[in-house]
Structure 1
């Protein structure tokens, strides 16, 4: 067994951002696509499309959803940039928001975009 075989055995399957959004953000924080959509002033279907892996999203920077998406991307890039792993086990309600690099990045991105999910 050489290094190539070892590297292949540790390869992860491609992960869609919608899967990460659902499993690492919406579910652990007890949010729904509807609540996020309301906070971003978007139809629920816009968030639901992303959540269920349908990448038919607008790339228009003036759309409020892009603020939310930017927060999500900051969270994901935080994980990738630090080499931290996204936890495999779901977070419990007792887990603080900033307990993972991903959630900390999402929180920072949402705050930078001026989106407060608790307020809506």
Structure 2
């Protein structure tokens, strides 16, 4: 068995995916999507600007509109948050001594 190095990829904000994989190809503005989702325009604008994350409410609405699942959007959000925290808290986490088996 070979020893493979883990490659840490940069965290990708769900807003980037929403913008680049959905809005741009569909030529759909954040405002137009917000109207279709029945949410404030600023909510979608902040997500695609990568200023805020996707809430469960937004995940439900995006899933319905784009025929995906809420899990798809929430997993993307959680994955992003974990990647950011892993980087930001690396030293503090490394300093924790794991529990030894008795």
How does the TM-score come out when normalised to structure 1? 0.46
Distance 2:32 2:49 in 1: 16
> Which of 26, 45, 61 pairs up with 1:68?
61
Residue number in structure 2 paired with 1:12: 9
Does the 8 Å CA contact 2:15/2:47 hold for their aligned counterparts? yes
Q: Which runs of 4+ in 1 moved over 2 A?
A: 56-59, 65-77
Structure 2, unmatched stretches of 5+, are 76-102
Residue number in structure 2 paired with 1:55: 52
Cα distance, 1:58–1:15 mapped onto 2, change above 3 Å: closer
Report the aligned-residue RMSD.
3.3
> Which of 33, 39, 45 pairs up with 2:42?
45
How does the TM-score come out when normalised to structure 2? 0.52
Distance 1:57 1:25 in 2: 15
As a proportion of its length, which structure holds more helix? Answer: 2
Residue number in structure 1 paired with 2:20: 23
Residue number in structure 2 paired with 1:3: 4
Offset, 1:28? 0.6
